[in-house]
C-alpha cells in the first residue's frame, strides 16, 4: 500500500493507516538483511541476561531468582533505549516523505513507539519461559502491566520527541543521547537492586525517572504485587510531565524543521 494511497483517505483513517504502515516499515528495516530476523528480539535479552548472570549473580547473590529479577528490568530498558534512539532520528530519516506529502510530523515518532512496542512483545517470550522455570506467580495483579506499560510508552515518547526536536536543530544532541545510554543504564537499578545502594545515595537514584518505572514493573512481575499508591502517582506524573514537555517543545520548534533538515 503506497503512502500516496493512504493520504487520499479521510483525514482520521489516513493518519491511522500511515502511522501503522510506518511502524511496520520501521520494524522490517530494523531486521533487514538479517538471517534470524525477528528472532533477534528473543535472543538479544537472553544474551544480555547470560552476561549479567555470569558477571553479577555472584556479586548480588542475595537477590533471589536473579535471572528473573534482571530480565524484568532489562526488557523494559531495551524498549526505552531502542524507542528513544529511533525517535530521535525519525523526522530526519523521513525528511523525503515530509517534503513530498503533507502529514503531521508527530506521526513519525508515534510510529516508532508502536514499532518498539511490537518488538517488546516478542521479548516477553523468554520472560514467560523464565517465569515458568522459576514458578513465578501469575494472577490478576499481572494485568497491571498493561496500564504501566502504556504510561512507560508515553514517557518514552515524551523523552524521544523532546530530543528529536532539539536534534533537528543541533545534530550533536542525538549523538550525545546515544553516548549517554550506557551511563543511564548503569545509573538505573537494572542489573542490581536499589536496596543494595547505601541509604545516603538512594536519593540520587530517585532522581532517575526510569528507576520508578522499573520499580513498578518489578512490583508486578517479580514481587507479584500491585505498586502502591505513591509509586503509581509518581509514574503517572512522570508520564504526563515528560509527554507534555515533549509535545510542547516538538510543536513549538516544528515550524523550523523543514529549513533544518
- Taking only the tens place, the pLDDT of each residue in 130-144 is 777 777 777 788 899
Cα gap 187→189, rounded to integer Å: 7
Which of these, 3, 1, 156, lies nearest to 88 by C-alpha position? 156
- Residue ranges making up the domain that contains 242: 36-260
Which of these, 108, 83, 138, lies nearest to 22 by C-alpha position? 108
What is the pLDDT averaged over residues 176-183? 93
Q: Cβ contacts of residue 146 below 8 Å, gap of 6+?
A: none
Higher-confidence residue of 161 and 41: namely 161
22 falls within a domain: no
24 falls within a domain: no
Q: How far apart are the first and last CA of the chain?
A: 26
H or E segment to which residue 120 belongs: helix 107-133
pLDDT averaged over every residue in the chain: 84
27 falls within a domain: no
Query: Which range is most confident: 33-42, 195-204, 208-217, 222-231?
Result: 208-217
Residue for cell digits 530526519? 92
Cα atoms found within 13 Å of the Cα of residue 122, Cβ hemisphere only: 15
110 falls within a domain: yes
The total of structural domains in the chain comes to 1
Q: What is the pTM of this model?
A: 0.88
| φ/ψ of residue 176, rounded to 5 | -65, -40
Is pLDDT above 90 for 10? no
71 falls within a domain: yes
Give the model's confidence band at 8: pLDDT under 50 very low, under 70 low, under 90 confident, else very high. low
1 falls within a domain: no
47 falls within a domain: yes
Whats the size of the chain, residue-wise?
Answer: 261
pLDDT at residue 233 in the model: 97
Amino acid at each position: 500500500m503506497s503512502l500516496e494511497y493512504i493520504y487520499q483517505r479521510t483525514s482520521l483513517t489516513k493518519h491511522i493507516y500511515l502511522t501503522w504502515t510506518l511502524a511496520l516499515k520501521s520494524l522490517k528495516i530494523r531486521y533487514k538483511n538479517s538471517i534470524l530476523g525477528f528472532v533477534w528480539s528473543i535472543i538479544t535479552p537472553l544474551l544480555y541476561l547470560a552476561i549479567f548472570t555470569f558477571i553479577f549473580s555472584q556479586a548480588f547473590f542475595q537477590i533471589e531468582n536473579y535471572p528473573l529479577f534482571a530480565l524484568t528490568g532489562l526488557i523494559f530498558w531495551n524498549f526505552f533505549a531502542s524507542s528513544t534512539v529511533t525517535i530521535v532520528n525519525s523526522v530526519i530519516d523521513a525528511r523525503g516523505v515530509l517534503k513530498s506529502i503533507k502529514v503531521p510530523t508527530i506521526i513519525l515518532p508515534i510510529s516508532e513507539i508502536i514499532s518498539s512496542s511490537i518488538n517488546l512483545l516478542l521479548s516477553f517470550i523468554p520472560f514467560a519461559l523464565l517465569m515458568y522455570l522459576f514458578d513465578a506467580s501469575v494472577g490478576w495483579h499481572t494485568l497491571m502491566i498493561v496500564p504501566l506499560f502504556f504510561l512507560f510508552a508515553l514517557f518514552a515518547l515524551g523523552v524521544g520527541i523532546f530530543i528529536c526536536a532539539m536534534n533537528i536543530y543541533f545534530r550533536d544532541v542525538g549523538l550525545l543521547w546515544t553516548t549517554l545510554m550506557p551511563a543511564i543504564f548503569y545509573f538505573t537499578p537494572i542489573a542490581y537492586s536499589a536496596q543494595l545502594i547505601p541509604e545516603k545515595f538512594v536519593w540520587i537514584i530517585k532522581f532517575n525517572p526510569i528507576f520508578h518505572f522499573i520499580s513498578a514493573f518489578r512490583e508486578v512481575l517479580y514481587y507479584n504485587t500491585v505498586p502502591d499508591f505513591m509509586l503509581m502517582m509518581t509514574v503517572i506524573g512522570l508520564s504526563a510531565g515528560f509527554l507534555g514537555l515533549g509535545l510542547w517543545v516538538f510543536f513549538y520548534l516544528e515550524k523550523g524543521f523543514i529549513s533544518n533538515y
